[in-house]
Amino acid sequence: MVDHLEPILEVSGLVKHYPLTQGILFKKQVGAVKAVDGVDFTLNKGETLGIVGESGCGKSTVAKMLVNLERPTEGLIKYKGEDLTKLSGKALKSVRRNIQMVFQDPYTSLNPRMTVGDIIGEPYEIHPEVAPKGDRRKKVQELLDVVGLNPEYINRYPHQFSGGQRQRIGIARGLALRPEVIVADEPVSALDVSVQAQVINLLDRLQSEFELSYVFIAHDLSIVRHISDRVGVMYLGRIVEIGRDEEIYDHPTHPYTQALLSAVPVPDPEAREHRERIILAGDVPSPTNIPSGCRFRTRCWKARERCALEVPLLAVPAEFRSVSGPAAHDSACHFAEEKQVVPSEEPGGMSPEGQEE
């Protein structure tokens, strides 16, 4: 956990709507897919912010907007106080050097027709000021060594590597321009469990070595807890709860977070017997037809009339405002309450052991 909080990335009111149209020649907008619908968070220098949630909740769309692969419909993305949504051309290109991305699938994010050296060195073609042509091969080999690969592999192609090795190549490419922020979009979800631990430990080591700040996106709660300083839980385009990892995992106050954590496998049989399993009713609503008020109310066992009328704010619940403690963190629920749903030790357990094949 970082001691001094210095914001490096500030996201405010972030929205991304994809229009739905009818007609072939004369297209008429008939609605919108509300992929992201008002997201706010701050990433501090040197910390890791984990973002978790079900598939389709908008996590990856947020990631793409942070690195400008998608332009937001509304909202601000500030890097060191400068709003990226208002930049273009050379100004945007200069800032984008400092915010790089590691993609989810190591099998499709690497060009099979390019060698490892070309893949990792491609950022230098876009930003030649970072590495003169004569130094690029040496820099690529140094990056291969940093991520735990043999520098002599520089002329090999992606199909000659395992999944874990390919993701290391993707991480090396992300490090090429020496960024300050890495956006990791489910970087281990396509890997075997033993390899996941190795990649997570690599990211942890690189954070200290290169003074990186991470936005780490995943749906595996145990992995997010292992690497994150703070955690934000997303549901249907919004963050519904955010706080330090121990606050979220040991003292969740939002019903959705409590339901997610109750489903985490626990290896201790005695702990399983004393844990309440929360089963949610129904399915996630369509992002084209989001419920009024609280968007989680259609599946929530606490839902009341107020939940349909008022949108809950992401803030410290009223009952915890007058006291300090792990339950006093931001939660978007009218009837938030602390509920112990998991044991205090880390779920799952990421092991640093094991060797990649």
At 106-160, the pLDDT tens digits run 889 999 999 999 999 999 999 998 888 888 999 999 999 999 999 999 999 999 9
**pLDDT tier at 357, thresholds 50, 70, 90:** very low
Two tokens, residue 357: 């094949």
CA distance 164 to 203: 13
Residue 3 has pLDDT above 70, yes or no: no
Domain ranges of the chain: 7-21+32-234
Helix (H, G, I), strand (E, B) or coil at 96: helix
CA distance 78 to 12: 8
Average pLDDT estimate for 240-266: 90
Give the whole-number percent of the chain exceeding pLDDT 70: 91
Two tokens, residue 271: 């702990």
CA-to-CA separations, 218 to 54, 120, 229, 261, in angstroms, rounded? 9, 24, 14, 14
DSSP code, position 77: E
pLDDT at 106: 86
Q: Each residue of 180-197: b (16+ CB within 10 Å) or e?
A: bbbbbbbbbebbeeebbb
CA distance 238 to 86: 23
Give the whole-number percent of the chain exceeding pLDDT 90: 64
Residue 92 has pLDDT above 60, yes or no: yes
CB 304 within 8 A of CB 315: no
CA dihedral 158, 163, 166, 167 (to 10 degrees): 160
pLDDT tens figures, 302-352? 999 999 999 999 998 877 776 667 778 999 999 988 776 654 444 344 433
Which segments within 80-207 are labelled E, that is strand? 82-83, 99-102, 181-185
Alpha helices in 127-192 (DSSP H): 136-146, 163-175
pLDDT at 344: 43
| Cβ-based neighbours of 255, under 8 Å, separated by 6 or more | 278, 296, 300, 301, 302, 333
Domain 7-21+32-234 superfamily per CATH = P-loop containing nucleotide triphosphate hydrolases (3.40.50.300)
Nearest Cα neighbor of 260 from 8, 51, 35 is 51
Write the single-letter amino acid at 111: N
pLDDT tens figures, 32-68? 999 999 999 999 999 999 999 988 899 999 999 999 9
pLDDT at 271: 65
CA distance 140 to 25: 49
CB 113 within 8 A of CB 195: no
pLDDT at 340: 63
Chain-centre distance for alpha carbon 50: 5
pLDDT tens figures, 174-227? 999 999 999 999 998 888 888 899 999 999 999 999 999 999 999 888 889 889
Give the sheet arrangement for strand 28-44, strand by strand: 28-44, 7-22, 74-79, 82-83
- Beta-strand pair 213-217/7-22: unpaired
